[in-house]
Copies of this chain bind each other. A is one copy, B any other.
Amino acid sequence: MSQDAPEPIARTSLIETLRKKLQEDILSGRYPAGTSLPPERELAARYGVTRTSLKHALIELRSFGLIAIRHGIGSIVEDVAARAGADALQYMAQREGGWDLRLFVDLLEARALIGGLFGRVAASRRTEADVESLREALGGARRTSRDPHGLQVAENLFMRRVTETTHVRTFVFLSNSISAVYARTLDAFGGAFEDGDWVTGSLEEIFDEIRDGSSAGAESAMERYLTESGKRMIAALEEQSP
């Protein structure tokens, strides 16, 4: 198997940087919920960019539910807890360059609980085709079980297949939002995939339960694996950034 692309160097565009900065200022309470942001012209001057660029960043913030932009009025800061959607997680979990460990732990717990639910539903609805698709993904994991990075990719695929087996499209989107938080920093979690036998063994167990249509079994197998896997991811993270 060919080596995967070596993760293109992260370039930070101005807009990207600007959005992060604004977001940080909002999340840190500098611009409290319910208040107006300074006018675009002033904000642009303050951050030293054009109004056009600033606007790009504002529109992106709006799409995450962090602000509401109203013609003739201004940009109003929304209550994050009340409005921000799941896609905002990927930006909230990485603040100021580092990880927000508390939120990340929270996220992984949610992943484990929801994964359990997915396993349960998947077991009760799997078709022949689903089982085959899962078997194939499992095979991929087995073949690459000694390469942490490859295994990580294979595990992700397997989990995606489990989610698809629920036949609930909304679950796939929810799952994407969660994966997106750590997907772009896969390398940071290599340490969680060094014990290849444990990973493949766990996936096999999950596969067996789903194949057998055992809802309760699949639920607990998923939840157990994801919980332990989450712990290892956290550990890997703490090793890197002391």
Contact = CB atoms under 8 A, between A and B. Distances in A.
Contact of A176 (B65, B103, B106, B170): B65
A89 B170 contact: yes
Interface string A171-211: 11110111010000000000000000000000000000000
Interface residues of A, number: 43
A63 interface: yes
Contacts of A169: 103, 106
B52 A176 contact: no
A133 to B, nearest CB: 13
Contacts of A81: 172
B59 A106 contact: no
Given A63-B87, A88-B173, A106-B170, 4 more contacts: A63-B64, A82-B160, A103-B169, A173-B177
Interface of A: 11, 13, 15, 52, 55-56, 59-60, 63-65, 71, 81-89, 103, 106-107, 109-111, 113-114, 117, 121, 160, 168-174, 176-178, 180
20 contacts: A55-B56, A56-B56, A63-B87, A64-B87, A65-B87, A84-B173, A85-B85, A85-B173, A86-B86, A86-B87, A86-B173, A86-B174, A89-B173, A103-B169, A110-B168, A110-B174, A111-B170, A117-B117, A170-B178, A174-B177
